């Protein structure tokens, strides 16, 4: 049985079940009375009676859907501490659109930022990209760009082309040149 001390939460959940099961008012009141000793209003019920009603609705096919906490964009009105945070977000979205990431959401980006900052910040991770200070934001941005560059170079190779090379050093080209070469593939 559901453990909840919040009576209002149970009542709300019962009303969601009513809607999901598409119960008309008569059927709903009958179900309440059946599960709760003749009481036909959730407002008059004890917590135990509310739990019984919820169990009856679950037996009838109601499945509680948990909130998907995947945020697709930054919270409205969130303040960004550094310009790099916007650039991190832009690279992340570009990687998603290019098919390099399965999840381009803000939640996924924040998970990446947390993993990276744990490594860079003596075991203390930063939970949100907009909370990064300049030093950490720069480090995360450069790591993300390097990862993106490697993925683009691999895609260029798979397409049968040669990835761009820095003319002075003979080493693989930087981020901007690799982006330009990758863009020619699409």
CA 64 to chain CA mean position, Å: 19
Average pLDDT in the chain: 85
Band the pLDDT of 144: cuts 50, 70, 90: very high
111-139 tens-digit pLDDT: 999 999 998 888 888 888 988 899 999 99
Can you read off the two tokens belonging to residue 146? Answer: 């390097």
pLDDT at 3: 41
Residues 6+ apart with CB under 8 A from 32: 39, 40, 41, 42, 45, 53
Can you read off the two tokens belonging to residue 13? Answer: 């959940």
Spans of all domains in the chain: 7-59, 83-185
CB 33 within 8 A of CB 40: yes
pLDDT at 1: 41
Q: In the predicted model, what is the mean pLDDT of residues 136-163? A: 95
Residue with tokens 């009958």: 30
27-54 tens-digit pLDDT: 888 888 888 888 888 888 888 888 888 8
Query: With 70 as the cut, is the pLDDT of residue 2 above it?
Result: no
pLDDT at 36: 86
> From CA 136, how far away is CA 115, in angstroms rounded?
12
Residues 6+ apart with CB under 8 A from 34: 56
Query: With 80 as the cut, is the pLDDT of residue 64 above it?
Result: no
């Amino acid at each position: 049985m559901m453990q909840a001390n919040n009576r209002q939460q149970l009542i709300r959940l019962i009303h969601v079940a009513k809607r999901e099961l598409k119960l008309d008012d008569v059927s709903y009141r009958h179900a309440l009375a059946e599960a709760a000793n003749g009481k036909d209003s959730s407002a008059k019920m004890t917590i135990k009676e509310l739990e019984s009603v919820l169990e009856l609705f679950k037996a009838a096919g109601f499945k509680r859907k948990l909130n998907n906490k995947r945020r697709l964009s930054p919270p409205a009105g969130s303040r960004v501490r550094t310009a790099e945070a916007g650039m991190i977000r832009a690279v992340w979205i570009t990687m998603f659109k290019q098919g390099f990431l399965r999840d381009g959401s803000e939640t996924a980006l924040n998970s990446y930022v947390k993993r990276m900052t744990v490594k860079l910040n003596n075991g203390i991770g930063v939970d949100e990209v907009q909370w990064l200070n300049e030093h950490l934001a720069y480090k995360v941005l450069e790591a993300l760009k390097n990862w993106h560059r490697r993925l683009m170079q691999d895609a260029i190779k798979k397409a049968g082309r040669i990835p761009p090379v820095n003319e002075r050093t003979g080493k693989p080209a930087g981020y901007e040149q690799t982006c330009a070469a990758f863009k020619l593939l699409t």
